[in-house]
Amino acid sequence: MAILVDENTRLLVQGITGREGGFHTRRMLASKTQVVAGVTPGKGGQEFEGVPVFNTIHDAVEETGANTSVIFVPAPFAADAIFESLDNGLETVCCITEGVPVHDMMRVANYPRLQNATLIGPNCPGMLSPGKSNVSIMPQDIFKPGRVGVVSRSGTLTYQIVNELTQRGIGQSTAVGIGGDPIIGTDFIEILKKFEDDPETECVVMIGEIGGNAEQRAAEYWQSEMETPVVAYIAGFTAPEGKTMGHAGAIVSGGESTAEAKSQALQKAGIRAATNPTEVAELVAEALK
């Protein structure tokens, strides 16, 4: 099985005619994802790579039965794009867009739960279930179908660790990049729960980074609620205090937000924490024995 996206995913691309949306739509189509619609206001009636383009989400859902959307619209319009997707009944919404204002996300944050929907992102690489569906900007060729779930705050570290797993012959059920902004739609705990409920995910890799306390909360959840083994990796041991490192949420402010504090909390809970990406694959191989 897989979580969030699979062979039943019927994908709608918001911003399909833009540069980024168009580029990644071609990649998703090449990986056999069911891209059934695109939305660009003012361009309804056109086609992009054989995919019909609509002016509104309402029209696209009504005509195609789309159940998932991926958002590539500019940051000032991303919150409205999320609201429009959720208001039209889409079950899963993935916002790739980076630079979405924090105040916009404060308006959005709790709305998916009211709609019984899942929001991934913003500022994330998306979701990919190898051999089933690719709703992401992740490189498909490094993935291999298998039984390890991956959840990460970092895009490029996801690629590196997935590649390490694949090189060892270890496949993945689903990889989810939740995003690195201070306010995101779905956190570690929500994804860990989905992996715990998936009978075909036998181990989970959790990739964290400096800033906040999401990893500590995930460790507490794992300790009390999960049986599936988790292997973790925290980036940022050498990050200088008080400096933003890549992601808006990755700011070391001392205390529990440091990589060292997070790693210690994970290990105290019983989660094995690797010191580098290669060791992650080694620990996963041991957990699967």
Residue numbers annotated as active site: 247
- By the 8 A CB rule, do 104 and 81 touch? no
Confirm if 254 and 213 have CB atoms less than 8 A apart. no
What is the Cα–Cα distance from 42 to 54, expressed in whole angstroms? Answer: 8
Q: Which of 1, 42, 17 is nearest to 197 (CA)?
A: 1
| Nearest to 153, CA basis, from 175, 132, 137, 168 | 175
Radius of gyration of the chain (CA): 18
Cα 42 to Cα 58: distance, rounded to the nearest angstrom: 14
Distance from CA of residue 93 to its chain's centroid?
10
Q: Which residues pair with 177 in a beta bridge?
A: 126, 152
**Closest by CA position to 70, among listed 44, 51, 42:** 51
